[in-house]
Amino acid sequence: MKIVVLDGYTENPGDLSWDKLKEFGDLTVYDRTPVDDEEEIIRRIGDAEVVFTNKTPVSRKVIDACPNMRMISMLATGYNVVDYTYAKEKGIPVTNVPTYGTASVGQFAIALLLEICHHIGHHDRTVHEGKWENCEDWCYWDYPLIELDGKTMGVIGFGRIGQTTGRLAKALGMRVLAYDSYPNEAGKQIAEYVDLDTLLAQSDVIALHCPLFPDTEGIINKENIAKMKDGVILINNSRGPLVVEQDLADALNTGKVAAAGLDVVSTEPIRGDNPLLKAKNCIITPHISWAPKESRQRIMDCAYDNLKAYAEGKPVNVVNS
């Protein structure tokens, strides 16, 4: 069996091993494949039977040009880069990694929030630059510091990750509200389920953990921002297009939104003209919530399990069955 990994670097920049996949055949791993060059994608897949991809598109044209391909396996949960409907027509299962970053993404949401509350990175830099050494007083702070105990966090999207963030917020003494289309008993142990308008009106902090669907795209827009408390904090390490970025930038610059912590934006890598780059009090990190080694190892383990199940004739985690 020939196996190709089209873009393995972000999953494994060198601290993990691909060796287990070699149990099933001839493995070729490319660190990166140009996402806009279909001819190169086709060339690299060649006559491979199994293709692993993270962000490299596998289109109808690519599928037609690689007739030996029998399985497409994502190194991620999302699978929108694959024409999975056409793959189904061709009898090609598309598999994904359904759960791997729950703990790390929830942890990162709280890390973004705590950075907003304490500006630890800034104060560390100023100490190393000599400000404390030359300070008239025994301490100083350059930003208002925020205590979370007693405040309200609203979580939009209360699945596994949303509930993880909610549990962590609750441990900090926060009241937790949740908005989700499918309330469940586990969630009720953590949060009070409310409608969206109630969550927007009552939350001091709003965290986004919902999937990107037509009804959630742009859910943070000027109309919904207007329903929020003045001085609200927004956290998004879910999907960039959940936010209308110009509307959020405007709200940050007027102070309606006090601060935002973002690990995702609408176009990634971020473009230089993104309005959030110049917005006030906006922390942006480069989509790394998912990236702790432990989380990436779970992706690797699931990739192996998906390949093993396919080799045994019983594919699992199939998203286009």
Q: Tell me the catalytic residues.
A: 239, 268, 287
DSSP letter for each residue of 234-295: EEE-S-GGGB-HHHHHHHHHHTSEEEEEES--SSSSPPTT-GGGGSTTEEE--S-TT-SHHH
Of the candidates 264, 267, 150, the residue with the CA atom closest to the CA atom of residue 204:
150
Which CA distances in Å does 95 have to 8, 24, 62, 243, 263? 16, 17, 17, 28, 25
Adjacency order of strands within the sheet including 71-74: 26-29, 2-5, 50-53, 71-74, 94-95
Closest C-alpha to 318, from 112, 91, 164? 91
- Give the SS3 label for residue 4: strand
Residue 93 CA to residue 168 CA, distance in Å, equals 37
- Residue with token string 């027509």: 89
What letter would DSSP give residue 152?
Answer: E
What sign does the dihedral 80-82-87-92 (CA atoms) show?
negative
Beta bridge partners of 49: none
Contact 11, 55 (CB under 8 A): no
Q: How do 192-193 and 50-53 pair as beta strands?
A: unpaired
Who's near 116: CB < 8 A, 6+ residues apart? 146, 233, 259, 261, 281, 283
Instruction: Give the list of residues 6+ apart from residue 213 with CB closer than 8 angstroms, or none.
Output: none
- Strands annotated E in 129-199: 152-156, 175-179, 192-193
